[in-house]
Structure 1
């Protein structure tokens, strides 16, 4: 019986501490220095004392970057992409990995993260409905209310599908999305700034 108690205690993860091993792993995967990682961790724990950032907290923080628009729905998608293990919260490693990717990652990696965010139904493709919904959310987050100069989200989505869909299935695979955005800077700026 004492063995069971010992096992259950050893499985408990302390999300507020950062071990040397975790720092080494983050240095190798994020390209941040160990000092930068410690600083990021200190700030993360200051803002999130439990070491776990739930969806509501994530949205509150993320919305600060988009004060001019409505960011709630877009932030929910970002949270889904950041929560890599799908446990309902973002821990420090997930947070820092996503920050590193968005700050200094390769364009292809950022586009892959964007694809993961935009694949709302998690089927590995983007259809016209998903793309239109994302464009609408991007317009909202940037505070675009008067869209008379812009194509509607549905028309823009149709145009993107027509331009990027190489296999004719009226959906975009991750590869089609990434390659299309790499070859069209205007659409890339819209979908993965």
Structure 2
């Protein structure tokens, strides 16, 4: 990934990052708008420069960011990388043509900013950005990059959706439990009233009647 990031800085491919290229690259990474960040990240991922991302390009980007460990061997890691590539293709290949074009990538990231670095981290974290800015300015603590804001908003949105789903699931579970309990009470009350009446037929009880007949 480091080589790919270097390539994104060295736009004229002369093997040297001059002052202008360094300034433009840092500006995009640290203070860039979402559109500029999308352009920069896509350029990093686009290894052959054809403005189209294939599966092998995504796999190469991920392979440089993941390493065996924690009980996962190289074969398992490779399988995980392939699965992540397929997930990324489903998320980013909007028109389902087998290639992730720049419009595909741009539309997907604008819809969900968390997809910006789906194929490998190539932007500095807010903490790293603050550490760098501390070398050149005293106002680094008050600085928040566009990417950090977009990321936090997207994360909060995902957390809100998850909380909503959990609350809805709990509500449905409570309703099902209440209905089951009421039905059980109705059956017990029906049986008791039938026994008191000498086993004769009796009219069906409603849930309200069952609650009133609860011993």
Q: Is the 8 A contact 2:94 2:108 kept in 1?
A: no
Once the 2 structures are TM-superposed, how far is the Cα of residue 146 of structure 1 from its aligned partner?
4.1
Unaligned runs of 5+ in 1: 1-73
Once the 2 structures are TM-superposed, how far is the Cα of residue 145 of structure 1 from its aligned partner?
3.7
1:163 to 49, 73, 91: 91
**How many aligned positions are there?**
117
More strand by share: 1
Q: Which residue of 1 aligns with 2:29?
A: 102
CA distance in 1, matches of 2:117, 2:93: 19
SS for the counterpart of 2:100 is strand
TM-score normalised to structure 2 length: 0.48
CA distance in 2, matches of 1:154, 1:131: 9
Once the 2 structures are TM-superposed, how far is the Cα of residue 153 of structure 1 from its aligned partner?
1.6
RMSD: 2.5
**1:38-53 → structure 2 map (5 Å cutoff):** none
1:132 to 27, 44, 59: 59
TM-score normalised to structure 1 length: 0.53
Q: Which residue of 1 aligns with 2:107?
A: 179
Q: Which has the larger radius of gyration?
A: 2
CA distance in 2, matches of 1:145, 1:108: 36
1:123 to 50, 61, 73: 50
